[in-house]
Amino acid sequence: MRLRQKPRAALAYLALIVPSALILVGFLWLFITSFSIRTEGLRSLGWTLSNWSFLWKSPFGPQYPSIWWVTLNTLVMSLIMTLIVVVVSSMTAYALSRMKFTGRKSFLSLTLILHAFPSVTLLIPIYFVLIWVSKIPVIGRGVPLLGGLGYNTIGGVALVMVAFQLPFGIWVMKGFFDNISWDMERSALIDGASRFRVWWEIMMPNIKPGIAALSIFSFITGWNAYLIPLTFTAGRAGKSAVLSLYLQNFISESVMTEWNAVAAVGLFQLIPVVIFFLFTQQMLLNIYGGGKKGGV
Amino acid sequence: MKKLRIRSRIVVVALTVGLLLIGGAISYAQETETITITVRARAKPPMENWRGDNFLLAAEELNADLKTAGDPRRVEIELIQDNMEWGPFLSEFVLGYGAGEAPDIWLTGHEYIGAQAEAGRIIALSEMLKEFPTFNLIIDGLWNSTSYKGKIWGIPQDAEARPLYFNKALLKKLGWSNTEIAALPGKIEKGEFTLYDMLETAKEAAATGVVEIGNGFWTRPKNGPDFTAFYYAFGGETIDSFTGKLVFDRAAGLKYYKFFYDAAQTYGSMGCLGLDWSGAWHPGVSGSKVLFWIGGTWQWAEWAEKFLKEQGGESYMWENFGFGLIPAAEKGGKPNTLTHPMAFLISSQSKYPDLALALIAKVTNYGPNTRHAIASTHLGILKDQTEYKFYKGSRLLSETLYMLDYTTFMPNNPYWGPYSTITYEALAATVGGDFTPQEAVDFVVDGLQRELGDKVIIR
């Protein structure tokens, strides 16, 4: 029996190791390249820290924004986007999962249709919405840190990203709510809890893996967003620049790309995502365990 | 008790100083008004950074002028400068304008003037220029590039020539002597060495294995202004001076497309279209794989700084590369080049166009313009700039300045975009062997008439 199981396990490991190794080699190259003057495959032709000099001085000149300012912009945008997506998706999904009301199915279908639209087809209508928002006093252009919620602001970009991410979020969260037994909720309602309290105190703790999953997907989407920030902010080096745009400064159509520096910035861009993943991975792994540990 | 008294005194002194500072600040704020002027520039770092950075120095000078003149306004610069592609750079201006947030000063290619002037996004400067005599320093011919419908809409910022570069080492391998190589730019200037002479040499180089087939002669890999210079070389015109409409000349067009058809199909050149700029084109020309190629003077700095730094930069290039005008189409004909000046435009949304223009006047002077010219190997735009002590220090700029006497421009017409795209599509198909020269001309005529109707004159 054991003998028969061993080759099976070995095969399973082999099937896992081969594709994982390919990905790991990619990361290894990224790491080696970011600390190398030049590389031949995975072999460094000389070690250097100069590729990381963007951390303490702008590689393009003193008038370019610091990487830390750009990182702060990206972080603020991604966190705001994640927060709104998670809160709004979970509230909407709860209503769609648990309440019967007219237009429920149509609403669900509509969100799916919205998700099917490629973002590029919606750029012009969104632009007009952002211009309209820009004209609203304070909200448009006067929010500290975010700049506002209008055109050429971090908040405006976050708002657009939220709109694109919400359909996905609603469907994911609805799936999680659908899997929770009615009994717990019914007991709470019989005990006199309000719908909001049931949502917050009973349902939300039971879908933590779902919240974690949606959070990390939303965060990564915001963190790596390119088209929306490119279209709705001014310049790759403006006050609203984000990391994905900043990275493009290294890759130009007509000037030699310094791949070692690109690798370093790419690795730098990866760090917060890895940290975010480390904090949420325990909950993420529970998704496949059937929801909350201890079982619903 | 004594300590308490000392503390009280310190508090009183601190409060007094604080009040004085606040009072001073309020009083200064009441006396002066700080105005932010936004400058949006496209520049390849670090070579072209002076395009925008000059404004930071100019603001200090302007503030001193304003103070002296008793003007309560003070300027501060918000500079947005990066190396964005032209398409997104243009979209950004249009979208920003739509949102009421266009930059005060927009530095862009002069060919956008027609479209932006028609859309009302930029202002005409003809009248305002009179208040700043510095602008009289600009070489007269360059104003043509920023004029549209009889008015001036922009201030030329830099100029360049687009020479025919040649690789001296490869010519030597072909058997050319140093004297012959040194004489080549002169022969081109006199019309003794024509475009077809160049192709013959390129063919010989490919046949003898000096270069690979396809590498005898290269143009830029994508659509761009350089091709227009070849069309001009064959007698083509792009604009009707009387109506201001675009022009396509069938006879010149046929010769133009025949040249590129021959180059690719008969002379084994033009293996360049579609190449990636930084991945293949620059390494190809700077890596001595190509005998003749058309490039810009600004690329000299790029090769020295980015591609050939380890080989010795400029000194290596002087040893191995040479340049001349784009040869004439026929013996005794006039060679040419093309200048595509960048120009400062002022947005019609700018609340202080006078200050914006004053800043542009500050950067349009020998010092600031020469800083940019030398760092980026662009040509100067000012009269007698070659006499300026620091400009003279650049050998490339001095040796290419004569090319401005032979220069041509692209037209300032709002419909230049589709015109350029259609004529290039035909060229790419000709080089690829999909079109004969006549088919290319027919394609262009059909395309222009379909896209532009009576906005283009077909001759």
> In Å, how far are B126, B336, B410, B427, B436 from B231, measured between CA atoms?
31, 11, 11, 11, 17
Ranked by mean pLDDT, the top range of A25-34, A55-64, A276-285 is A25-34
Distance separating alpha carbons of residues B142 and B137, to the nearest angstrom: 11
Which of A76-80, A182-186, B179-183 bottoms out in mean pLDDT, i.e. has the lowest? A182-186
Residue A56 pLDDT more than 60? yes
Q: Is B452 within a domain?
A: yes
CA distance B200 to chain A (A): 29
Nearest residue to B153 (alpha-carbon basis) of B183, B194, B110, B195: B110
Q: pLDDT class for B2, splitting at 50, 70, 90? A: low
Q: Note the pLDDT of residue B27.
A: 59
Q: Do A231 and B95 make contact, defined as CB atoms within 8 angstroms?
A: yes
The residues in B 394-433 lying below 8 A from A, measured between CB atoms, are: none
A237:B92 CB<8 A: no
B316 and B279, same structural domain?
Answer: yes
Q: pLDDT digit string (tens) for B22-61? A: 666 655 555 789 999 999 999 888 888 999 999 999 999 9
CA distances (Å), origin A247, targets A58, B79, B80: 12, 19, 16
CA distance B45 to chain A (A): 5
The residues, ordered by sequence, that sit 6+ positions from A103 with a Cβ below 8 Å of its Cβ are none
Residues in B touching A255 (Cβ below 8 Å): 44, 83, 277-278, 302, 306
DSSP B305-323: IIISTTTTTHHHHHHHEEE
Q: Which two tokens stand for residue B362?
A: 């500050």
**Residue B83 domain-assigned?**
yes
Chain B CB contacts of A234 below 8 Å: 40, 80, 92, 96, 101, 103
Q: How far apart are CA B169 and CA A260, in angstroms?
A: 31
Is B6 part of a structural domain of the chain?
no
State the DSSP H helix or E strand holding residue B78, giving kind and residue range, or none if neither.
strand B73-82
What average pLDDT does this structure show over A13-27? 90
- Interhelix angle A123-134/B86-98, rounded to 10 degrees, is 40
Question: Is the CA virtual torsion B68, B71, B74, B80 positive or negative?
Answer: negative
Query: Do the bridges between strand B151-152 and strand B73-82 make them parallel or antiparallel, or are there none, so unpaired?
Result: unpaired
In a domain, B279, yes or no: yes
Closest-CA residue in chain A for B40?
A: A235
pLDDT of residue A183: 86
- Average pLDDT on B350-374 reads 95
- Same domain (yes/no): B196, B225: yes
Question: In chain B, which residue's Cα lies nearest the Cα of A140?
Answer: B99
For chain A, domain boundaries = 2-48, 59-289
Q: Which residues contact A8 (CB under 8 A, 6 or more apart)?
A: none
Residue A256, pLDDT > 70, answer no
Residue at which a domain ends, from B367, B388, B408: B408
Whether pLDDT at A118 is above 90: no
Q: Distance (Å) from the C-alpha of residue B136 to the closest C-alpha of chain A? A: 30
Return the minimum-mean-pLDDT range out of A279-293, B82-96, B333-347.
A279-293
Please list every residue in chain A whose beta carbon sits closer than 8 Å to the beta carbon of residue B278: 252-257
* Domains held by chain B: number: 2
B104 and B194 part of one domain: no
- Whole-number Å distance between alpha carbons of B122 and B108: 12
In chain B, the residue whose alpha carbon lies closest to the alpha carbon of A240 is B80
Q: What pLDDT, on the 0 to 100 scale, is given for residue B439? A: 96
B44 close contact with A: CB closer than 8 A: yes
Point out the domain boundary residue: B385, B408, B431: B408
Query: Do B115 and B253 belong to one domain?
Result: no
Per the listing, tokens 């969260």 go with A173
CATH number of residue B105's parent domain: 3.40.190.10
The pLDDT of B314-328, averaged and rounded, is 94
Residues from chain A that touch B45, judged by Cβ atoms under 8 A, are: 59-61, 64, 249
B83 and B59, same domain (yes or no)? yes
pLDDT number for residue A3: 55
Q: Which residue from A88, A229, A73 is spatially nearest to A151, judged by alpha carbons?
A: A229
Give residue B68's identity as a one-letter amino acid code: T
CB A24 within 8 A of CB A16: no
Among the partner residues A150, A234, A254, nearest to B92 by beta-carbon distance:
A234
| CA distance to partner chain B, nearest, from residue A249 (Å) | 6
Question: Given this model, what pLDDT does residue B133 score?
Answer: 94
Number of H-type helices and E-type strands within chain A? 12, 2
Instruction: Number of A to B CB contacts under 8 A, please give it.
Output: 88
DSSP three-state, residue A125: helix
Question: How does pLDDT run across B408-453, given as a tens digit for each residue?
Answer: 988 888 899 899 999 999 999 999 999 999 999 999 999 999 999 9
Residue B53, chain A, CB below 8 Å: the answer is yes
Most A CBs within 10 A among B76, B79, B84, B85, hence the mutation to make, goes to B84
H/E stretch holding B117 reads helix B113-118
B388 and B328 in a single domain? The answer is no
Query: Which of B49, B83, B94, B105 best probes binding to A when mutated, by most A CB atoms within 10 angstroms?
Result: B83
- Expressed as residue numbers, the domain containing B292 is 164-339+412-458
Surface-to-core class of residue B241, CB atoms within 10 Å of its CB (0-12 exposed, 13-18 middle, 19+ buried): exposed
Same structural domain for residues B283 and B153?
A: no
- In chain A, residues with a C-beta closer than 8 Å to the C-beta of B302 are 254-256
**Is A289's pLDDT higher than 60?**
no
Residue B205 and residue B299: Cα distance in Å, rounded?
Answer: 24
Considering the domain architecture, whether residues B75 and B152 belong to the same structural domain is answered as yes
Contacts with B306 from chain A: Cβ below 8 Å: 255-256
* pLDDT attached to residue A246: 86
**Among candidates B59, B34, B70, which has minimal Cα distance to B362?**
B59
Mean pLDDT, rounded, of chain A:
85
Q: CA triplet B264, B266, B268: central angle to 5 degrees?
A: 55
Q: Is the pLDDT of residue B284 over 90?
A: yes
Q: Tell whether B184 and B101 lie within a shared domain.
A: no
Same domain, yes or no: B323 and B353: no
Q: B292 and B390 in one domain?
A: no
Q: Of B73, B108, B72, whose CA–CA distance to B89 is shortest? A: B108
CB contact under 8 A, B99 and A131: yes
Q: Chain A closest CA to B81's CA: distance in Å?
A: 6
Q: Tell the CATH topology of A59-289.
A: MetI-like fold (1.10.3720)
Q: Which residue would you say has higher pLDDT here, B217 or A271? A: B217
Average pLDDT over residues B84-106: 91
